[in-house]
Structure 1
Amino acid sequence: MVCIHPKCVWFKGESIRRNGEKHLTLALMCSVLCSDGWDKFQEKCYYFTEEQNPWQQSREMCQSKGADLIVIDHKEKQVGVSYFFLYRK
């Protein structure tokens, strides 16, 4: 089972000078930080387990962690996630 969690943290901008005056920019950026037990891959957090449960039970477990089951919607994602899962440790 593989869960995916989009977790973001927002940061403040920095000061700039324009026409001799100091202004605070409010440029915000999102950086992915994964919790313990989660693996970062292509700016997303993945939780891997070797448990084998029915689909609904697996989904409920992911949702209890604020995530959802991964959706493999194209071949590149399947290959990438499969490769990452096999060689992540």
Structure 2
Amino acid sequence: MEDIYANVQPVKLIPQISARNYRGKNDTTYRYKCVSSLFFSRIHMYLFLIFTVSSFDTRENSVCSFILVESTCPKGWITLNVSCYYFSNEAGSWDEARSDCIHRGADLLVMNNAEEKTFLAALFKKEAWIGLNDKETEGSWKWVDGTSPEFKNWHDSQPNNGGTSGRWGEEDCAHVYNNDKASWNDFSCDGAKHWICEKVLKLGV
């Protein structure tokens, strides 16, 4: 029995290495890479946000500048809401009046409502051409923008195309009287009157 155990060597226990100790330097490198990656990701995100906000501000300022320029009436014109008005000092035919307005980047007045009527009547005390006529079809009155008048401000018994006298011939163009109502009257387009130009402002892109 003693011979059997004579060659048996004592067992040596191998010390266990913890996972934490086993990582060693590799663990530190891993953490460094994670922190670096996170840091640069944040930097990229901040740069992107700065660029985006800067671009938005630039576009917004451009739009605001555009609106500011387009919202300014030419010198010597009067403003009401989104329109500019020019009152002529000279007199001429309806066609001459319209040509002058177009040359100024506008057109003859299109009167849309009672507020506009009251505003103009208070400022301009002369008979003046407006952008209303029935040149194409007698009795079918159209504004220079091609629309039919929804708001109407004809003087009593007007339009009458000259009535029965025929003194002024065909009366196919409209003007405003110099009264507190700025009421309308039809008149020969060749007659000489002052005129009112209107330029509608552009508010936006």
Q: TM-score range by the shorter chain?
A: 0.5 to 0.7
Indicate which of 97, 100, 117 corresponds to 1:61. 100
User: Which structure carries more strand by proportion?
Assistant: 1
Q: Which has the higher contact order (CA 8 A, sep 6+)?
A: 1
TM-score, length-scaled by structure 1:
0.58
User: In the alignment, residue 72 of structure 2 is paired with which amino acid?
Assistant: L
Structure 2, unmatched stretches of 5+, are 1-44, 126-205
Residues 1:46 and 2:85 aligned together: yes
User: In the alignment, residue 61 of structure 1 is paired with which amino acid?
Assistant: D
Query: Could you tell me which residue of structure 1 aligns to residue 75 of structure 2?
Result: 36
For residues 56-77 of structure 1, the C-alpha deviation after alignment (integer angstroms, 9 at most, x for no partner) is 1100010111110111122222
Query: Could you tell me which residue of structure 1 aligns to residue 31 of structure 2?
Result: none
Q: Residues 41, 74 of structure 1: CA spacing in aligned structure 2 closer, same or farther, 3 A cutoff? A: closer
Q: Residues 76, 39 of structure 1: CA spacing in aligned structure 2 closer, same or farther, 3 A cutoff? A: closer
Residues 1:79 and 2:118 aligned together: yes
Q: CA RMSD in A?
A: 2.3
Query: Could you tell me which residue of structure 1 aligns to residue 40 of structure 2?
Result: none
Decide which moves more: 62-71 or 73-82. Answer: 73-82
| Rg (Cα) greater in structure | 2
Return the alpha-carbon distance in structure 2 between the equivalents of residues 34 and 57 of structure 1: 23
Query: Could you tell me which residue of structure 2 aligns to residue 8 of structure 1?
Result: none
Residue 84 of structure 1: CA displacement? 4.3
1:4-43 alignment to 2 at 5 Å?
20=46, 21-22=49-50, 23=53, 24-25=55-56, 26-27=59-60, 28-29=63-64, 30-31=67-68, 32-43=71-82
TM-score, length-scaled by structure 2:
0.29
Return the alpha-carbon distance in structure 2 between the equivalents of residues 50 and 78 of structure 1: 20
Q: Residues 46, 68 of structure 1: CA spacing in aligned structure 2 closer, same or farther, 3 A cutoff? A: same
Instruction: Count residues with an aligned counterpart.
Output: 68
Return the alpha-carbon distance in structure 2 between the equivalents of residues 41 and 85 of structure 1: 14
Runs of 4+ in 1 over 3 A off after TM superposition: none
Structure 1, unmatched stretches of 5+, are 1-18
User: Which structure carries more helix by proportion?
Assistant: 2
